[in-house]
Structure 1
Amino acid sequence: MSGWTAIVLAGSRPGIDPFAAANGTDLKALIPVGGVPMVARPVAALLEAPEVATLRVLAQQPERIAAALPKDERLSVEISGATIASTIADLLTDPETRFPLLVTTADHALLTPAMIADFCARATGKDLAIGVVERAALMRRLPDSRRTWLKFRGGSYSGANLFAFGSKRAASAVALWRSVEQDRKKGWRVIAALGPVVLLGTFLRLLGLDAVLSRVGRRLGISIAKVELSDPIAAVDVDKPADLDLANRLIAERQ
């Protein structure tokens, strides 16, 4: 079967999740967003996207996640690893995995088929492509939105929770990701893990994001590219109460 294999990461961290508990559940992926479980929204967008051939949802409690999702022959709900990086590493080394992979998260509640089409069209052919949104674009649309921004020459970027893996070769990037996984919200620590030249170049604003990814790719022996999403809403995930309020408002506006 041709087309993308889409992966939705719907796992949870160990222990009590205060954000989930405040919204009547113990699993973040099941927090209601716009009247439906959060995870159901990116799943619906992916099932609607013609680029997606199969869809795999990965979670530590797959039976509970499956109960919140539609029945579709393209959709399976499976057990995940303990962390995001370990889960993706397992996917990349699994001989049954079909490439290319499109990876997103259960909290990408505002994902749309248009965003998926935009990302897939420009991610094709790379070992690893990373979806991003530039700060100025999001501020024009949502001036009060608060995101984690990484600053480079030519702009500041936030992740869009969209990743493309074109081949098993990207496993080297995932190994680097695993080394900084606990610090993924702390931009300077992530950049520091890429080496002193990248850290200094970014700190002094001597390097743009494309240059940084090119250097990292050469170091790892793979091709890496950013995909700057046309719709800045792609940067909005539902990670805290303010995000949930914003997502509910934007969904109401769409309807």
Structure 2
Amino acid sequence: MSQHSACDTAYALVLAGARASGDALAMAHGVQSKALINIGGAPMLSSVLRSLMQSGRLCTAPYVSGLEPEVLEEASGGIPAQRAQSVSGGPASSLLGAIEGGIQLPLLVTTCDHALLTSEMVDHFVGEAIRGGADLTVGLASKETIQASYPQTRRTYIPFGGAPMSGCNLFFIRSSEALKIIRFWQQAEQDRKKPWKIAWRFGPVTALRLLIGRPDVHRAFQMISARLGARAGVVVMPFAEAAIDVDSQADLELVRSILADRRQG
């Protein structure tokens, strides 16, 4: 089990593994991993690594899980990266494997398809997560924020009261207590597109409070924390782009257009 480090910022882990069924987008583009898909003249993973390295929050070069050494070397595009221990299974299994393989905490976690990630997003999220003090913090963005800038993008929204939220593929693990939450997520991953099924895994009383009471996101996370015995927190990101990852060809085209606009701006 990893221990807390003396680092006053964070380590970083990029999840780059594919599910057992493979990745349809990678196959469509004829590459071994989605991390290799070309965006703006460089592999998608390299843009994530660049933003992490440009942040002032990292202790060392980011770790990457889920890629063989030669694929990581190609996908990193020359940007420093360290290979993490990889295990089979979904993202939660990959995360647990990396932590149990020795990566230290606190740990910022994102994914190789978070091509719109910027150092500003990283700095904001890590700063707010540290300030919040939860064992595990999740980055979310509101439907209102996302659709105000990108009404065409299709995202999965969690129906919190007041403001539906979409995940931003940003997680901050402050302490080993967070492993309780990660192990729960490992069991719930198969239901990731069905929020009501995930709610039911907390037990009927908590599920009914979440589904019928429709608490706002902060109250919902308090209820989840009480049920799991570890403190889960949330940072509501003010960046619409933080919620746009590359899951489909439509996502890829949108991300390419946003990055082209950034370069011209």
Q: TM-score range by the shorter chain?
A: over 0.9
Structure with the larger strand share: 1
**Cα pair 2:66 2:94 within 8 Å, conserved:** no
**What's the CA shift for 1:65?**
1.7
**What's the CA shift for 1:21?**
1.8
Aligned residue among 255, 258, 265 for 1:250: 258
Give the SS at the match of 2:159: strand
Residue pairs, 1:59-208, within 5 angstroms:
59-71=66-78, 75-83=81-89, 84-94=91-101, 96-124=102-130, 125-208=133-216
**Cα pair 2:11 2:108 within 8 Å, conserved:** yes
Give the SS at the match of 2:117: coil
Ranges in structure 1 where 5+ consecutive residues have no aligned partner = none
Q: Which amino acid aligns with 1:251?
A: L
**Cα pair 1:60 1:79 within 8 Å, conserved:** no
Change in 2 beyond 3 A, CA 1:224/1:17: closer
Give the SS at the match of 1:150: coil
Could you report, residue by residue, the CA deviation over 1:38-81 in whole angstroms, capped at 9, with x for unpaired residues? 111111100111101121111142321222215566x3123411
Q: Which amino acid aligns with 1:147?
A: R
Q: Distance in 2 between matches of 1:203 and 1:195?
A: 12
Change in 2 beyond 3 A, CA 1:179/1:27: same
Q: Distance in 1 between matches of 2:229 and 2:211?
A: 24
Q: Which moved more, 1:60-69 or 1:207-216?
A: 60-69
**What's the CA shift for 1:206?**
3.4
The alignment of Structure 1 onto Structure 2 pairs a total of residues equal to 253
Q: Distance in 2 between matches of 1:70 and 1:179?
A: 34
Q: Does 1:228 align with 2:236?
A: yes
TM-score (norm 2): 0.90
**What's the CA shift for 1:150?**
0.6
Q: Distance in 1 between matches of 2:78 and 2:138?
A: 30
Q: Distance in 2 between matches of 1:43 and 1:72?
A: 7
**Cα pair 2:65 2:86 within 8 Å, conserved:** yes
Change in 2 beyond 3 A, CA 1:103/1:196: same
Q: Distance in 2 between matches of 1:220 and 1:40?
A: 35
**What's the CA shift for 1:199?**
2.5
Q: Distance in 2 between matches of 1:161 and 1:108?
A: 7
**What's the CA shift for 1:136?**
0.5
Q: Distance in 2 between matches of 1:35 and 1:195?
A: 48
Give the SS at the match of 1:131: strand
Could you report, residue by residue, the CA deviation over 1:20-48 in whole angstroms, capped at 9, with x for unpaired residues? 12212131111112221111111110011
